[in-house]
Structure 1
Amino acid sequence: MIPKKPISSFLIYLCVLLFSACEKNDAAIGDDLRQRAIQELDTVMVKQERWVKVHAAEYKIELGYTEDVAETFMAELLQAQNQSQYRIGVWRVLAQCNSLEVDQYREKIAAAFRDKQGDDRVYAAESMAKLGLNLKRWAPEATEEVLNGPVNSLYVYTMWSSLQGEDPADEVSALLELVKNKKLDDLLVMQAAYALRNEGNLSITQWKNLASQALAREESSAAKVYLLSAAFIHAPESEKGRDTFAAVREQLLLYRDSAEKGAQMELAIALGRAGRPEDLAVLKKLLEGSNPVDPSGDPEAIALHHAAQADIRATAAYSILTMDRRREYSLALGDWLVVVLYLAGMLGVGYYFSRKNKNERDYYLGGGKMNPIAVGLSLFATLLSSLSYLSYPGEMVKYGPVILSGILVFPLVYYVVGWFLIPQFMKLRVTSAYQILEINLGVSIRLLATFFFLSLRFLWMGTIIFITVHTAILAIFGFDQKYALLISILLMGITIFYTTMGGLKAVVFTDVIQSGVLMGGAILTLLVVSYQLGSFTSWIPGEWLTQWGELKIGLDARERLTIANALLTTFVWYVASSGSDQMSIQRFLATENVQTARKTFGVSLITNFVVQCLLGLVGLAVLAYFLAFPQYLSPGETVSSHADQLFPKFILVGLPVGISGLVAAGILAAAMSSLSSGLNSTSSVISEDLIKRFTKNYKAPKNQMRGVRNLSFFVGIFALVLSVLISKVEGNLYDVIVRVVNLFVSPLFVLFFMALFVPFATARATLAGGLISVATAIAISFFKWMGIEVLFILPASLLAGILSGSILSYLDYRLLGNRETMEKRSREAAIFKDPGEVE
């Protein structure tokens, strides 16, 4: 079984009692064999020499067992830096394990390729290709010259490298052409097949072509095993039950008795990457060295024989560990039971509160007298969302704890929002926050704010659906990618049902429950990792990890993240969201007075502080867990390249049965909490700011609740459609959220800032400031304008909007004589009741 240690004897009893028949998947490879394979890689890397040492080190890096690799090869560098050919291997290893000096070693390899008189150009070209680097970018002139020259080994590897980052179909087609070229000698076909084995992405037609080439190749050809290996590894699922694949497999397995080192190594790699459980016996035999390559009698041949055997054993060990990683995990029956019960509970909540809503005010504002602590927890759950729950641990894993330094600015956020913004909002009891903008700056600004808010929330809801489904649900529940849209529809459907049934009361009630689930899931993760690693401090790094890059403190818009950047970005986000977002203002207005609204915001901030700390610690915990147990990562995954997937993966493989389901339900809870708030608030804005305002002779329908429920339904459908487009945005989860969701956060607050704090603000200047703010955000997000990093979108667009709006307002007021300012309109509003205000 997969190791599942309980947290306490009580947890054992509970799991046995409730889920005694539910187990996770059995491991195909036991701990003893796994440790034997790891030990073999360590031994070969330390005791062998030259390329055998390089191969073992690269196997360790790929599998995540990176201990001592950098230290070993930094020492090796001193001896090998002037050794032609072998130095390329040393540089290649260091380029993969030392993140702070990656480009230095890449450039050394590229320089060796550019040296036309050097005798390690072939090794350099191969290494660039294996590192995924395109020589057209690193050495354009030398690459062009080689590709226009004769077809030889240098040509094959240079072409392979020059296709990195290009269209995968073009890469496969070019390599297949070399394989099919009957004029090429056996060595070049072997090298092209080796490249194909490493790349893949074959269509069914291309695979059939490759398989036929492999099967037709004569037995004496050194290229045959490489062709068979490529065909075996990249066989489409639809072809694995057919005769052609069976023939490829049968001929490939004949090489288990081969006397050639390369053939045995290629067989091992093929079985590790695509073999069946029964093929483990072949790999064990190779690991034990019980099928040796026969040496001749002289000492030099014996030494070569020992090195060859070590290379085979290391490759067998690598393949065993690769097969270990190919295990599939799934939730147990007990986990599914927890999830189903939770979803049923959400539907029950919606039905219960649907019987208590009498009118629109009950639906949108919960009657205006809701408990401030409950509303505060709801505000926390709304602003946190599944986006933060999934992205914070991944951001911590990939870039380190700098992002968490932003919570240090929370006291200032509380003061600014609680004493400058909340009192302004509570002066007027309105249903839509954007009525405030109309009172102070007119209809045009209210409509612009409505557009900004709806754009923000639709993008936000679409992102929640996309990321929750593609990052969490597919990974945890094991659904096929083709069901993503159906799952998205189901997720939104359940949310629409209980939200449109129960209104804000249902939203707040479920948010309170979901807040507990979120925090409980994070705490359980910390407890489980602490137990499995031995202590509560064992998973806290003792030093700044190299994968996190350099720690920087000062404010710098061209750095992705520094401590000062995190403080400024966090401050701007909380102030702007709390001071302009209908979802936040709606909750302030749902309380009785300024003091209770302030208390609501304080509860939200405190809860956010606790949970963000927890999620940051969760990131460190799952990082330590997968560094200690890299066998749970799939082939090709590393803690850095798949940082966003580590937390969902841990939920599946690291937590006990039943707890996995609870935390999975927590992620669904976070998503539905935020989606429900989005549905409620966007429906409110559309109803108040668009339908009622622009419908001539508007009359409230006899059944008001049916009307608002129908509106929420159509809002949900539009957000669902929008979620399909989010997949086009590049970056890790945190970057995607910032680039998409935060586009309109600062521009929306610019309008409120002008309407509340700039006395001489005019409508047309404020409108221009808002549009300039949006343009700035888009320019930075998608075009990296002036080299500004995406995480600086919020402060940059806020500054651009406020400065331009204020300057233009001053010019409009002083030079153009426009007296219709915010100050004048607010004075008039104090005398005459605003016609747009709803009782």
Structure 2
Amino acid sequence: MRVPGIRNLTMGLIVLLAVAACQSRPSAVGPELRERAVQELQQVMDQQEYWVKVHAAEYKIWLDYTEGVRETFQQEEEKWEQSSPYRIGVWRVLAQSDLTSRESYVNKIIRAFEDRDGPDRVHAAETLAKLGESLANSSPEITREVLEGQVNSLYVYTLWSTLQGREPNGAGEKLPELALDSGLDEILRLQAAYALRNEGGFSEDTWERVAKSGLQEQQGSLPRVYLLSAALIHAPEEKRNDPVFEKVKEALLDLKNSPSKGERMEMAYALGKAGNPEDLPVLIDLLENKHPILPEGEQATSGMKEAINADVRAAGAFGILMLDRRQVYSLAWADWLVVVAYLAGMVGVGYYFSRKNKSEKDYYLGGGKMNPVAVGLSLFATLLSSLSYLSYPGEMVKYGPVIFSGVLIFPLVYYVVGWFLIPRFMKLRVTSAYEILEINLGVSIRVLATFFFLSLRFLWMGTIIFITVHTAILAIFGFDPSYTLILSVLLMGITIFYTTLGGLKAVVFTDVIQSGVLMGGAVLTLLVVTFSFGSVSAWFPSEWLAHWGELKVGVDARERMTIGNALLTTFVWYLASSGSDQMSIQRFLATENAQTARKTFGVSLLTTFVVQTLLGLVGLAVLAYFTAFPHFLSPGETVATHADQLFPKFIRVGLPVGISGLVAAGILAAAMSSLSSGLNSTSSVISEDLIKRFTRNYRAPKNQLGAVRNLSLFVGIFALLLSLLISKVEGNLYDVIVKVVNLFVSPLFVLFFLALFVPFATARGTFLGGIGSVAIAVAIAFFKFLGIEVLFILPVSLGVGVLLGMVFSFMDVKMLGNKETMLKRSREAAIFKASTEIDRKT
């Protein structure tokens, strides 16, 4: 299956990649400065004591340079657990660095707050607010008592804590009023302004008041620096070109040589959070201690002087590294050229094959004599999709390799599908797989299967569009989220164009290309990470990571994932998809016989095994990469909380220029591969199972290809509209896929299982079994029925559906006397077919 010009396209891409290698992505903070800042934080944490040590440790945690923090402060806890209020700082650090024990440390801090005569209640309230813990929830009575009492430090920090866990209403109303109340004690105003700086989220009007108040405060005023800092960090976007904003920043920069440690530290914090690369010289001066603070007086010992300046140096290091985290990376022009060239090539393929299609059979089945290897690669690309390509690395990052153990069941999958399902399909040689259901169980079951299939595929295509745009395109290409709809239309439009032109031949050909791009993208990622670390062993984990949770082997429906669950879920998914999905059966029927169809399925499984292994390794690689180089993560992102975004982000920031564009094109390729297959098979089912079956006096249109192309266009538009609703589904990427995409997989196979393997199955019993299967799938996915985990939807809904179908069918035959069983109908159909064949020959 050769396409003229494909060699020229390949050579063009190679030339583009060679030119792109000359480009680079500049960074404001170079590797040497970054390393100096990281080392400074480590040195301050190791060598200083008390709160200076706490500050350096927290900077490291917030920047994801967490190495050694937990171990260091576990030792601090042993030494200072009875020392107030320093112990609160130690617990605060441990609550952030030791997430498995966070609750126990939070409880210790709460008990310190609840001790009315305790020496560190104020520090406890402040710490709980910083940790995002609401005292209104954990200690409501004492909190009410404090807030009804006098306005003091405990009042301010307790008020701040009560804002945690609410809807994002920012600083509320009271904090700004306290910070701006000129009649209040300066210490309390400072504390309120500090809380305001941390909380943010205030209105534009409040921002104006905070900014102007900070500018009007006298030099040396205690709340001044925190009011200025709050105004700089939380300025509304439309105010960042305002003269007031510029004055706020100038006032903060004037503090670079302030004799106050607190003012220098706060300036560094604010510049790190909201400054720009032009502010780096100021932060470097702090890091290098160009203008040391020299406190005077009898108590100003050399150790105190060192601690004060160490605190400032650590703050300067934090500001530099936070600016580094806020670096915006984007694709280079060569990356864009690679993507455009690829998409243009896909459109060209569609146009080429449009001239090869002469009939409806050519369009839907490729003439029925397509190459089994090519069709197998196409089946792999279809079943993998961009959903798997994006979700598998994220699943590995967040939960570990358990899910990938499912590939161990592939030999059994191949045997069951290849020798029990495929031969039955190949004997019938139908255009739509759901004709089988009508032959064996009647029209009602075929209609129900059509409804299940269309629901499944429309949700599947809608999810592909939504996740490809939101997780990949926005992350890789850096588009503003407001362009989501336009990008979705463009993605689907290109797919519709080349699919409706070329039919199954175009789908299979582009799938073969896209399979290579997918695997190549995964391999390139592994090579780049290995080169960055120096070896594979340097990034491959030597032990089970703590955030993956406990490794479990058995089958347990109430556990998110065990090895037994992975094996069972994988087996059921492949069995159900291969035995009921028009997209799979369509490809079996596109080959010459059962042997070639079996080969097709074997190629698909083998390729899937290779790519799942690669994607699992990709997950480990990007996990190691962003753990070692956390400056590439945006502020607030961690490897655990943003696991699904790590691979797309790596494509943009980790791969060489040009290669980023190629892998980005690979993700678009995966999406378009699956969407094109969905368009083709879905329009086939609508045509065969709905239009032709239920249209009275149906007459084939003169231009059959034009009609089916219009139908594919309608399918694509409907899927595009459906993608807008997927954002309403809760859960991370993998959970959303399981909830939405796999909802109808098992219910659909329930119908085929009963129609093929249960002789006494009746239409009414099968119908009820299918409906019951859907009901239990919905109950598990969206209502946590009996505490069953969402990943157990497939086996439970399959088992329940088959059991109900058999029970209701048995009752239908034995109690209601229904004689129209599957066995009887299939025999009658075989007799009718044989007599028709005899009549035709005679």
Question: How far is 1:807 from its partner?
Answer: 2.0
Question: How far is 1:711 from its partner?
Answer: 1.0
Q: Give the residue type in structure 2 aligned to 1:309.
A: N
Question: How far is 1:830 from its partner?
Answer: 1.5
Question: How far is 1:299 from its partner?
Answer: 4.6
Q: Give the residue type in structure 2 aligned to 1:107.
A: N
Question: How far is 1:172 from its partner?
Answer: 4.3
Seen in structure 2, the aligned counterparts of structure 1 residues 88 and 802 have a Cα distance that, compared at 3 Å, is farther
Structure 2 counterpart of 1:573: 573
Structure 2 counterpart of 1:7: none
Structure 1 counterpart of 2:374: 374
Structure 1 counterpart of 2:117: 117
Structure 1 counterpart of 2:426: 426
Q: Give the residue type in structure 2 aligned to 1:280.
A: L
Query: What's the secondary structure of 1:331's corresponding residue?
Result: coil
Question: How far is 1:57 from its partner?
Answer: 1.1
Distance (Å, rounded) in 2 between the aligned partners of 1:834 and 1:79: 90
**RMSD value, Cα:** 2.3
Q: Give the residue type in structure 2 aligned to 1:516.
A: G
- Please say which of residues 473-482 and 147-156 is displaced more in the overlay: 147-156
Seen in structure 2, the aligned counterparts of structure 1 residues 217 and 445 have a Cα distance that, compared at 3 Å, is farther
Structure 1 counterpart of 2:234: 234
Seen in structure 2, the aligned counterparts of structure 1 residues 415 and 114 have a Cα distance that, compared at 3 Å, is farther
Question: How far is 1:502 from its partner?
Answer: 0.4
Structure 1 counterpart of 2:511: 511
Seen in structure 2, the aligned counterparts of structure 1 residues 299 and 191 have a Cα distance that, compared at 3 Å, is closer
Question: How far is 1:551 from its partner?
Answer: 1.4
Distance (Å, rounded) in 2 between the aligned partners of 1:450 and 1:145: 63
1:304 maps onto 2:304 in alignment = yes
Seen in structure 2, the aligned counterparts of structure 1 residues 738 and 158 have a Cα distance that, compared at 3 Å, is farther
Verify the 8 A CA contact 1:386 1:464 in the aligned structure 2: yes
Structure 2 counterpart of 1:3: none
Seen in structure 2, the aligned counterparts of structure 1 residues 822 and 155 have a Cα distance that, compared at 3 Å, is farther
- Please say which of residues 215-224 and 268-277 is displaced more in the overlay: 215-224
- Please say which of residues 432-441 and 86-95 is displaced more in the overlay: 86-95
Structure 2 counterpart of 1:668: 668
- Please say which of residues 509-518 and 579-588 is displaced more in the overlay: 579-588
Distance (Å, rounded) in 2 between the aligned partners of 1:174 and 1:460: 48
- Please say which of residues 505-514 and 307-316 is displaced more in the overlay: 307-316
1:780 maps onto 2:774 in alignment = no
Structure 1 residues 277-307: Cα deviation after superposition (integer angstroms, max 9, x where no partner) = 1211111111122333331233565433322
Distance (Å, rounded) in 2 between the aligned partners of 1:204 and 1:124: 31
Question: How far is 1:48 from its partner?
Answer: 1.1
Distance (Å, rounded) in 1 between the aligned partners of 2:688 and 2:256: 74
- Please say which of residues 800-809 and 540-549 is displaced more in the overlay: 800-809
Verify the 8 A CA contact 2:179 2:223 in the aligned structure 1: no
Structure 1 counterpart of 2:9: none
Query: What's the secondary structure of 1:567's corresponding residue?
Result: helix
Question: How far is 1:156 from its partner?
Answer: 3.1
Structure 2 counterpart of 1:211: 211
Distance (Å, rounded) in 2 between the aligned partners of 1:794 and 1:213: 60
Seen in structure 2, the aligned counterparts of structure 1 residues 117 and 829 have a Cα distance that, compared at 3 Å, is farther
Verify the 8 A CA contact 1:335 1:661 in the aligned structure 2: yes
Distance (Å, rounded) in 2 between the aligned partners of 1:331 and 1:445: 51
Structure 2 counterpart of 1:494: 494
1:613 maps onto 2:613 in alignment = yes
Query: What's the secondary structure of 2:639's corresponding residue?
Result: coil
Structure 2 counterpart of 1:9: none
Distance (Å, rounded) in 1 between the aligned partners of 2:213 and 2:401: 52
Q: Give the residue type in structure 2 aligned to 1:195.
A: A
Verify the 8 A CA contact 2:17 2:334 in the aligned structure 1: no
Question: How far is 1:173 from its partner?
Answer: 4.5
Question: How far is 1:81 from its partner?
Answer: 2.0
1:119-158 equivalences in 2 (<5 Å) = 119-158=119-158
Seen in structure 2, the aligned counterparts of structure 1 residues 107 and 832 have a Cα distance that, compared at 3 Å, is farther
Across the two proteins, how many residue pairs are aligned to each other?
826
- Please say which of residues 735-744 and 377-386 is displaced more in the overlay: 735-744
1:550-629 equivalences in 2 (<5 Å) = 550-629=550-629
Structure 2 counterpart of 1:741: 741
- Please say which of residues 396-405 and 255-264 is displaced more in the overlay: 255-264
Question: How far is 1:144 from its partner?
Answer: 4.1
Verify the 8 A CA contact 1:22 1:334 in the aligned structure 2: no
Distance (Å, rounded) in 1 between the aligned partners of 2:204 and 2:400: 42
Distance (Å, rounded) in 2 between the aligned partners of 1:763 and 1:137: 55
Structure 2 counterpart of 1:8: none
Query: What's the secondary structure of 1:67's corresponding residue?
Result: coil
Question: How far is 1:125 from its partner?
Answer: 2.7
Distance (Å, rounded) in 2 between the aligned partners of 1:812 and 1:237: 68
Seen in structure 2, the aligned counterparts of structure 1 residues 251 and 350 have a Cα distance that, compared at 3 Å, is same
1:56-67 equivalences in 2 (<5 Å) = 56-67=56-67
Question: How far is 1:534 from its partner?
Answer: 0.4
Query: What's the secondary structure of 1:579's corresponding residue?
Result: helix
Structure 1 residues 604-627: Cα deviation after superposition (integer angstroms, max 9, x where no partner) = 000000000000001111111112
Question: How far is 1:787 from its partner?
Answer: 1.7
Structure 1 counterpart of 2:3: none
Structure 1 counterpart of 2:25: 25
Structure 2 counterpart of 1:107: 107
- Please say which of residues 245-254 and 199-208 is displaced more in the overlay: 199-208
Q: Give the residue type in structure 2 aligned to 1:519.
A: M
- Please say which of residues 146-155 and 356-365 is displaced more in the overlay: 146-155
Query: What's the secondary structure of 2:457's corresponding residue?
Result: helix
Seen in structure 2, the aligned counterparts of structure 1 residues 580 and 134 have a Cα distance that, compared at 3 Å, is farther
Consecutive unaligned residues of structure 2, counting only runs of 5 or more, are 1-12
Structure 2 counterpart of 1:729: 729
Seen in structure 2, the aligned counterparts of structure 1 residues 818 and 664 have a Cα distance that, compared at 3 Å, is same
Structure 1 counterpart of 2:6: none
Distance (Å, rounded) in 1 between the aligned partners of 2:447 and 2:175: 57
Question: How far is 1:114 from its partner?
Answer: 3.4
> How high is the TM-score relative to the length of structure 2?
0.94
Structure 2 counterpart of 1:435: 435
Question: How far is 1:371 from its partner?
Answer: 0.9
Structure 2 counterpart of 1:84: 84
Question: How far is 1:832 from its partner?
Answer: 2.6
Distance (Å, rounded) in 2 between the aligned partners of 1:672 and 1:739: 22
Seen in structure 2, the aligned counterparts of structure 1 residues 806 and 153 have a Cα distance that, compared at 3 Å, is farther
Seen in structure 2, the aligned counterparts of structure 1 residues 759 and 653 have a Cα distance that, compared at 3 Å, is same
Seen in structure 2, the aligned counterparts of structure 1 residues 573 and 304 have a Cα distance that, compared at 3 Å, is same
Verify the 8 A CA contact 2:431 2:586 in the aligned structure 1: yes
Verify the 8 A CA contact 2:16 2:334 in the aligned structure 1: no
Q: Give the residue type in structure 2 aligned to 1:676.
A: S
Verify the 8 A CA contact 2:171 2:201 in the aligned structure 1: no
Verify the 8 A CA contact 1:22 1:333 in the aligned structure 2: no
- Please say which of residues 137-146 and 424-433 is displaced more in the overlay: 137-146
Verify the 8 A CA contact 2:463 2:741 in the aligned structure 1: yes
- Please say which of residues 244-253 and 83-92 is displaced more in the overlay: 83-92
Structure 1 counterpart of 2:160: 160
Query: What's the secondary structure of 1:169's corresponding residue?
Result: coil
Distance (Å, rounded) in 1 between the aligned partners of 2:21 and 2:372: 44
Query: What's the secondary structure of 1:164's corresponding residue?
Result: coil
Question: How far is 1:34 from its partner?
Answer: 1.1
Verify the 8 A CA contact 2:171 2:200 in the aligned structure 1: no
Distance (Å, rounded) in 2 between the aligned partners of 1:379 and 1:258: 67
Distance (Å, rounded) in 2 between the aligned partners of 1:550 and 1:273: 37
Distance (Å, rounded) in 2 between the aligned partners of 1:586 and 1:16: 37
Structure 2 counterpart of 1:400: 400
Verify the 8 A CA contact 1:18 1:334 in the aligned structure 2: no
Verify the 8 A CA contact 1:268 1:316 in the aligned structure 2: yes
Distance (Å, rounded) in 1 between the aligned partners of 2:442 and 2:192: 69
Structure 1 residues 677-697: Cα deviation after superposition (integer angstroms, max 9, x where no partner) = 111111111111111222211
Distance (Å, rounded) in 1 between the aligned partners of 2:285 and 2:198: 24
1:439-838 equivalences in 2 (<5 Å) = 439-833=439-833
Question: How far is 1:320 from its partner?
Answer: 0.4
Using the aligned pairs only, state the percent identity: 71
Question: How far is 1:182 from its partner?
Answer: 5.2
> How high is the TM-score relative to the length of structure 1?
0.95
Structure 2 counterpart of 1:358: 358
Seen in structure 2, the aligned counterparts of structure 1 residues 80 and 602 have a Cα distance that, compared at 3 Å, is same
Question: How far is 1:168 from its partner?
Answer: 0.6
Structure 1 counterpart of 2:185: 185
Verify the 8 A CA contact 1:24 1:330 in the aligned structure 2: no
Seen in structure 2, the aligned counterparts of structure 1 residues 832 and 119 have a Cα distance that, compared at 3 Å, is farther
Query: What's the secondary structure of 2:169's corresponding residue?
Result: helix
Question: How far is 1:21 from its partner?
Answer: 8.4
Seen in structure 2, the aligned counterparts of structure 1 residues 158 and 584 have a Cα distance that, compared at 3 Å, is farther
Q: Give the residue type in structure 1 aligned to 2:193.
A: A
Q: Give the residue type in structure 1 aligned to 2:292.
A: P
